[in-house]
Amino acid sequence: MEATFDPDKRKLFSIISHGSIFFSQLLFSAGLPFALLFFSDDPVVKDNAREALNFHFNMWLYSVLLIIPAALLIGLPLVALLGLVQVIMPIFAILSSVSDPDKAYRYPFIFRPL
């Protein structure tokens, strides 16, 4: 017997997972998907939360790696590109979660430690 999950709840939690990056760059933005990963029993919500956490970790890592080149003015275009990616990719993830709530969104070009 396959369990059924509330599609509206699934959409909302998936949107919260991917949209949490807009709250701040601190612990709170990663805390929401982290909490959803552990407290939700919906497998799609868990996959979306895991993917959102991986995206957060990648953005933090790339930001740290670009500090020195940006300080030398070499990496300013890369910092601008990273900022653009940090805004556009979660929007794509949110739209994907709304249009197809039964499938977890996968961010391209990131490594997935979780």
- What percentage of the chain has pLDDT greater than the value 90? 28
pLDDT value of position 1: 42
Largest CA distance in the chain: 59
**Within a 13 Å sphere around the CA of 94, how many CA atoms are in the beta-carbon half?**
15
109's torsion region: left (phi>0), alpha (psi -120 to 50) or beta? Answer: left
Q: Answer yes or no: are the C-beta atoms of 49 and 114 closer than 8 Å.
A: no
- In this prediction the pTM is 0.81
Return the structure tokens found at 14: 């998936």
| Residue ranges per structural domain of the chain | 7-99
pLDDT in tens, 43-98: 999 999 999 999 989 988 888 888 777 777 776 787 788 889 888 999 999 999 99
pLDDT value of position 5: 80
Q: Which residue has the higher pLDDT, 6 or 45?
A: 45
pLDDT value of position 2: 55
